[in-house]
Chain A
Amino acid sequence: MGSPWPYVRALWLRIARRPAPSGWPVGAASALWRALRAATGDDAYERYLAHHRLHHGGDGVPMSRAGFFRAEQRRKWDGVRRCC
């Protein structure tokens, strides 16, 4: 028996990659959740992966989630971020 994680992961990806549900109320709740994730930057890593697939094709391995988060934070705080 190997590790179960690849199967769990594959199953999760199948659930997560389903097309967004539509209709009331599940569709509305899902849209709200997606909007919240986008607004807070919670989905930044997924967006980065999508960008990486689209623009850099097969060349290079994308950063890991932790690595991406660190790089983002370093970059973000390199300037004026707060007002009075």
Chain B
Amino acid sequence: MQKPDTPRRRRWWPQLIWAVIAVLGAGAAGIIALHRGEGLNSIWFIVAAVCIYALGFRFYSAFIAARVLALDDSRATPAERLNDGRDYIPTNRWIVFGHHFAAIAGPGPLIGPMLAAQFGYLPGTIWILIGAVLGGCVQDFVILFCSLRRNGRSLGQMARDELGPLGGAVALIGVMTIMIILIAVLGLVVVNAMKHSPWATSTVAATIPVAVLIGLYLRNLRPGRVIEGTALGVALLVFSVVAGGWVGHHPVLRGWFDYDGPQLALMIIAYGFAAAVLPVWLLLAPRDYLSTFMKIGTIVALAIAIVILRPEVKMPAMTQFIDGTGPIFGGTLFPFVFIVIACGAISGFHSLISSGTTPKLLGNERDARFIGYGAMAMESFVAIMAMVAATVLDPGVYFAINSPAGVVGAEAARAVQTISDWGFPVTVEQMTALAREMGESTLFARTGGAPSLAVGMASIFSQAFGNTLLAVWYHFAIMFEALFILTTLDAGTRVARFMLQEMLGNIFPALGRTSWYPSVLVCSALVVAGWGYFLYIGTIDPLGGINSLWPLFGISNQMLAAIALCVSTTVIVKSGKLRYAWVTAVPLAWLVVITTAAAWEKLFSPELRVGFLAHANDLSQRLAAGALSPEKAAQAPQFIFNDRIDAVLTAFFLVTTWVLVIETVRVCHAAATGRRCPPSTETPYVRTQLAEA
């Protein structure tokens, strides 16, 4: 409720402070943008990011809250009206913020910038900052608001209600496919980090019994004592990092944990299936506590370390790879930098959280701004830190770690020659010494971003905290990434299984019963087979798998964001605020442009590393001409088939996005001109009874 206006003197100092923040932010951004040559300090990234997020939050989100959405703190929220003490509970805003942030923060914002750094630090950084402030934060905020005004309904339900059944169906299938691709690519990241590394593999393997132990502790020994259980688990995890070092140096034990990519892929697939059919309390829930704690702890530690250390950025502002010849993934600066950054700037996936648990916990509508906009700003800050960790590495080292053998050559000597010829000097000795320091046998061609992030984090941590245990820090970072990647993998498989059961339930009602065990087994197996296929192909792909899977993931994630923004725009137009529709329509238009451009290139580009169809055709011609070695000829039909599947998926994303955009334009036009369209489903106003409002 608004307090009655009391006459008071206008204070001048807040304006002065905001003016200082604006000047500081502009100055830092200017330094980043205009700096050339050596010696750029990474602290400017942090300063620019913090100032830009603060300004975006203070002014742009306030504008959206007041003018566009007209947040009203006298209106009772679903948590108050429907309070059932379980799903709907008015909860302290800081706690909701914590839950919301923990749910939206995943491995995406760490991996995306790590890969996009092949263009240099500037393009990715600009998109992370602008994309978040004008796109990602706005999406999360507006969807949270829409769901708040609709009893906490999900994105799929809102798409159906506001846009019609077509919108709902597209959203549901979109979420399913994005989940499959996401899990496959994350699995690939973990596999590449564990490949022929007994230390990493044994540490990651140890997280499974640790999680099970904590699960038993929290269920049977000390029910619900989350802090105790988590503290115990974290201690065990740190011990398992150290113990992994012993295993890695033990002549016999190391053989038990030394596997190549395809073997590890099969193990991850088996693990994923087991995790999906086991009860949640045994593995998934305790792992989630541990990974949330590790995630927040490590991110905070990284931020502190960067501020203490202020390392120098060694990557150039822009590399020659903006022309599309980059080794990590093929494709030109436009549109691929926007696709590859993904979650750090705008992530469609967040709209599922913003329309899931969070709206059912808010006690005051006004907090939607702080939680929706604020949590995404923080997530985007994580992406900036990943960018710093990528660019403080020597560019030669960065490219040696991240370039697949199929591009730079499998032998160390050839790889360093290729990379040095690009103008990023690196030597075999340097890489061998680095690998030894990190306790690994080799760091060449460890694609996927996790190992290079771990090298970056290990060097930052070991310098900032006055410790020289580089190898332990490196494997700690690998364990930390693997922990929450595996949590996403378990949770994602489970959600995809629910959706599949729901869909199949329409055809075979028995399969729709989510707790019927045969249905659980069948549907989990189908989901695991789906991502397992892409994961396995990724591990045998000479181009490294990440090259084709990550852009596909980026396109699908941005497409989901487009769906969310379609719903947001429709809601704004239906509420009679046509003149403010640009707030979501402009990011929507931009997303449609970049996803269309990227999908088009992935489909029809003649460049072999970009176009799926070009690659398939080239391979089949060479196969027919007998120009392939027997080993490659045996695999070729599989790769050709895989390219075509990727092409079909891309085409599917492209078509569904356009169908939904056209539907949105139609409904918005009808709403703006007073023609017939699905009516707004906003719940009527009820005055709040909560005292604090």
Task: Report A's interface with B, CB cutoff 8 A.
Answer: 35-42, 44-45, 48, 51-52, 55, 65-66, 68-70, 72-84
Asked whether A75 lies within 8 Å of B487 as measured between CB atoms, the reply is: no
Alpha-carbon separation in the docked complex, A29 to B498 (Å): 43
Alpha-carbon separation in the docked complex, A10 to B218 (Å): 24
Interface string of B318-360 (1 = CB under 8 A from A): 0000000000000000000000001100010110110011000
Beyond the given pairs A73-B281, A81-B491, 6 more chain A to chain B contacts, judged by CB atoms under 8 angstroms and listed by A's residue number, are: A40-B230, A51-B89, A80-B495, A82-B288, A82-B487, A83-B103
The stretch of B105-113, B164-172, B605-613 that contacts the partner chain: B105-113
Given known A82-B492, A84-B107, contact A65–B98 (CB-CB < 8 A): no
**B285 neighbours in A (Cβ, 8 Å):** 73, 76-77
- Give the Cβ gap from A62 to chain B, nearest Cβ, in Å: 11
Interface string of B469-488 (1 = CB under 8 A from A): 00000000000000000011
Chain B CB within 10 Å — which of A40, A42, A65, A82 has the most?
A82
**Majority secondary structure, B binding face:** helix
Asked whether A42 lies within 8 Å of B106 as measured between CB atoms, the reply is: no
User: Does B679 interact with chain A (Cβ within 8 Å)?
Assistant: no
The stretch of B60-68, B219-227, B362-370 that contacts the partner chain: B219-227
Given known A73-B280, A81-B491, A83-B103, contact A37–B227 (CB-CB < 8 A): yes
Asked whether B95 lies within 8 Å of A38 as measured between CB atoms, the reply is: yes
A-B interface, 10 closest residue pairs, ranked by CB to CB distance from nearest: A82-B491, A66-B223, A69-B224, A84-B108, A51-B85, A69-B223, A80-B352, A77-B280, A42-B226, A83-B106
- Give the Cβ gap from B42 to chain A, nearest Cβ, in Å: 25
Alpha-carbon separation in the docked complex, A8 to B86 (Å): 31
Interface string of B169-201 (1 = CB under 8 A from A): 000000000000010001000000000000000
- Residue ID in chain A nearest B186 by CB atoms: A84
Asked whether A52 lies within 8 Å of B85 as measured between CB atoms, the reply is: yes
Contact of A66 among B219, B342, B353 (CB under 8 A): B219
**A75 neighbours in B (Cβ, 8 Å):** 86-87
Given known A73-B285, A83-B108, contact A65–B357 (CB-CB < 8 A): no
Asked whether A65 lies within 8 Å of B224 as measured between CB atoms, the reply is: yes
**B214 neighbours in A (Cβ, 8 Å):** none
Contact of A44 among B224, B281, B352 (CB under 8 A): B224
Alpha-carbon separation in the docked complex, A58 to B257 (Å): 58
A-B contact pairs, 23 of them (CB 8 A): A38-B95, A40-B226, A40-B289, A42-B226, A42-B227, A51-B89, A55-B85, A66-B223, A69-B219, A69-B224, A72-B224, A73-B281, A73-B285, A74-B280, A78-B498, A80-B352, A80-B491, A81-B356, A81-B357, A82-B103, A82-B487, A84-B108, A84-B182
- Give the Cβ gap from A1 to chain B, nearest Cβ, in Å: 28
Q: Which residues of chain B from 243 to 302 have any CB-CB distance to chain A below 8 Å in the complex?
A: 280-281, 284-285, 288-289
**A73 neighbours in B (Cβ, 8 Å):** 280-281, 285
- Give the Cβ gap from B353 to chain A, nearest Cβ, in Å: 6
Asked whether A70 lies within 8 Å of B94 as measured between CB atoms, the reply is: no
**A65 neighbours in B (Cβ, 8 Å):** 223-224
Asked whether A84 lies within 8 Å of B488 as measured between CB atoms, the reply is: yes
- Give the Cβ gap from B215 to chain A, nearest Cβ, in Å: 10
User: Does B445 interact with chain A (Cβ within 8 Å)?
Assistant: no
